[in-house]
């Protein structure tokens, strides 16, 4: 949100992204563009910034049904059932309204996969354009994650496609789609690189890609088996429905030779294992694969009546809403930055420090128009000497850390405390 806010301040959609008014090379710009479009339409607000994510979540549900009908025209002819299976799932309920990149990426992965299936059945230049444009937008949403998510279905098409035809035209057409996607990304990348230095280019093009695969970027490091531990959660609540297990037994005996099932296996298995090999792991990284898991569950749930699926959706949504209400009433205040952000916004003319490891917490919330200094705890005295009328937002556990400063605000924050402090002799 703070990156999108700083894009709004600059009015420069093709300038290098910034966070705390310093180069931000972690992600491409598509989600920030969409947020700024919504702000231009509805005004700057938190709810307006969630519109792109909510629309992406709904589009993912719809496109999962479309892909299901393409792959299983008889078993999943009623896409409404597939939609119900997805909406009730824990991954959709958790991530469907959070401002993150993965739901947006999922939309373009699904569009690309739909194009791949269509192109395997009929060589059409319009399908090449669909794959290329979708893949390019996916790259602008989350970089190389997009091509990786569709790489194996393209590579392994001779194993799943019934009527693939000439493999030369197959791979050539998809290569052309790759060039179209690259051209689309370059429309943004070339002007950005022309306005940035070599260090920014190195981090954007190499370190954020290869570094997250190899672990040289040490954010979110996790062992190989991390995603295997999450697999049961992907199938909640349906994993508790007996009809799922009965359907799975029938699925194993009746559908292993179907083109759609081979497609899902060639897509999900190697891509999932590839994610396991990446050093950097987060649960939401798997979101582009969730539609594939939904299709498997929808196949297994064919024997369950539609009204029971709808009832499960109602129960899950109800539990989710009640859970959110309980969380709001009990512990979410520990994560609420609004009181301190309001004070920061009211005192923007002062110099500000954050102790320590600032990640733009106040940029959007306080509508900041200048940077916050990221200060180590041991350097706070020196910072106050250089900024005698400044304020510092301090996260701490031990009250001794802030004993020598004048307290302005203070409250619980993520298992610790956060407060606003000034020099003891400041006015």
Distances (CA, A) of 293 to 230, 314, 329, 339: 13, 21, 34, 41
Distance from C-alpha of 154 to C-alpha of 172, rounded to nearest angstrom = 11
DSSP state of 197: -
d(CA 313, CA 89): 8
3-class SS of residue 406? strand
The whole model's pTM is what?
0.92
pLDDT score at 256: 55
What tokens appear for 199 in the block? 């260090």
Name the β-bridge partners of 138. Answer: none
Q: What is the DSSP letter of 58?
A: H
Q: Do 173 and 136 meet the contact criterion of CB atoms below 8 Å apart?
A: no
- Helices 125-142 and 102-121 cross at an angle (nearest 10°) of 160
Alpha carbon distance 96, 328 (integer Å): 18
Q: Where are the alpha helices (DSSP H) in 226-347?
A: 226-234, 242-254, 259-277, 290-300, 306-330, 338-346
Beta-strand pair 391-396/405-413: unpaired
Closest CA to 206 of 126, 139, 288, 144: 144
For tokens 């519109």, name the residue. Answer: 51
Residue with tokens 């119900």: 84
- Beta-bridged to residue 172, according to DSSP, are none
What distance lies between CA 253 and its chain's CA centroid? 36
Q: Give the span between the Cα atoms of 394 and 419, in whole angstroms.
A: 5
- Bridge partners (DSSP) of residue 395 are 418
The owner of tokens 């062992």 is 223
Q: Compute CA distances 201 → 48, 196, 398, whole Å.
A: 31, 7, 40
- Please name the helix (run of DSSP H) or strand (run of DSSP E) that holds residue 56, with its range, or none: helix 46-71
* Pick from 102, 55, 33, 63: nearest CA to 295: 63
What pLDDT score was predicted for residue 226? 93
| Percent helix, percent strand, percent coil in the chain, to nearest 5 | 65, 10, 25
3-state secondary structure of 390: coil
Tell me the longest C-alpha to C-alpha distance in the chain.
Answer: 80
Q: Is residue 115 within 8 Å of residue 150, measured between CB atoms?
A: no
Pairwise CA distance, residues 12 & 187, whole Å: 14
In the chain, the N- to C-terminal Cα span, in Å, equals 32
Question: Given this model, what pLDDT does residue 254 score?
Answer: 60
Question: Would you write out the chain's pLDDT as a tens digit for each of its 427 residues?
Answer: 999 999 999 888 888 999 999 989 888 999 999 999 999 999 999 999 999 999 999 999 999 999 999 999 988 999 999 999 999 999 999 999 899 999 999 999 999 999 999 999 999 999 999 999 999 999 999 988 999 999 999 999 999 999 898 999 999 999 999 999 999 999 999 988 888 777 777 777 766 665 555 554 556 678 889 999 999 999 999 999 999 999 988 887 665 568 999 999 999 999 999 999 988 899 999 999 999 999 999 999 999 999 999 999 999 999 999 999 999 999 888 889 999 999 999 999 999 999 988 999 999 999 999 999 999 999 999 999 999 999 999 999 988 888 889 999 998 998 899 999 998 766 5
């Amino acid at each position: 949100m703070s990156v999108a806010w700083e894009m709004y301040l600059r009015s420069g959609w093709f300038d290098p992204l910034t966070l705390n008014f310093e180069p931000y090379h972690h992600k491409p710009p598509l989600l920030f563009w969409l947020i700024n479009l919504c702000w231009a339409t509805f005004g700057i607000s938190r709810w307006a910034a969630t519109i792109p994510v909510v629309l992406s979540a709904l589009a993912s549900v719809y496109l999962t049904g479309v892909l299901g009908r393409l792959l299983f025209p008889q078993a999943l002819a009623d896409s409404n059932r597939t939609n119900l299976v997805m909406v009730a799932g824990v991954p959709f309920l958790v991530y469907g309204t959070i401002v993150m990149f993965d739901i947006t990426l999922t939309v373009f992965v699904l569009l690309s996969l739909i194009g791949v299936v269509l192109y395997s059945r009929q060589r059409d230049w319009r399908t090449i354009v669909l794959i290329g444009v979708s893949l390019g937008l996916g790259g602008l949403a989350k970089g190389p994650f997009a091509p990786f998510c569709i790489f194996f279905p393209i590579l392994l098409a001779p194993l799943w496609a019934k009527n693939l035809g000439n493999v030369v035209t197959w791979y050539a057409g998809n290569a052309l789609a790759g060039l179209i996607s690259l051209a689309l990304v370059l429309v943004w990348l070339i002007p950005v690189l022309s306005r940035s230095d070599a260090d920014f280019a190195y981090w954007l093009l190499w370190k954020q890609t290869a570094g997250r695969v190899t672990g040289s970027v040490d954010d979110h490091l996790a062992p190989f088996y991390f995603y295997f531990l999450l697999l049961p959660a992907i199938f909640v609540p349906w994993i508790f429905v007996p009809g799922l297990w009965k359907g799975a037994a029938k699925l194993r005996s009746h559908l292993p030779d179907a083109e759609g099932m081979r497609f899902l296996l060639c897509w999900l298995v190697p891509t999932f294992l590839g994610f396991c090999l990446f050093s950097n792991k987060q649960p939401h990284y798997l979101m582009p694969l969730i539609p594939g898991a939904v299709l498997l569950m929808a196949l297994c749930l064919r024997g369950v009546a539609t009204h029971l699926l709808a009832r499960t959706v109602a129960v899950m949504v109800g539990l989710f809403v009640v859970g959110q209400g309980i969380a709001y009433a009990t512990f979410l205040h520990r994560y609420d930055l609004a009181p301190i952000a309001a004070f920061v916004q009211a005192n923007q003319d002062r110099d500000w420090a954050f102790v320590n490891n600032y990640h733009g917490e106040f940029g959007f919330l306080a509508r900041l128009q200048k940077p916050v200094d990221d200060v180590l705890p041991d350097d706070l005295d020196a910072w106050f000497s250089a900024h005698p009328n400044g304020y510092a937002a301090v996260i701490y556990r031990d009250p001794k850390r802030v004993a020598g400063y004048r307290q302005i605000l203070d409250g619980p924050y993520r298992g610790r405390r956060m407060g606003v402090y000034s020099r003891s002799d400041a006015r």
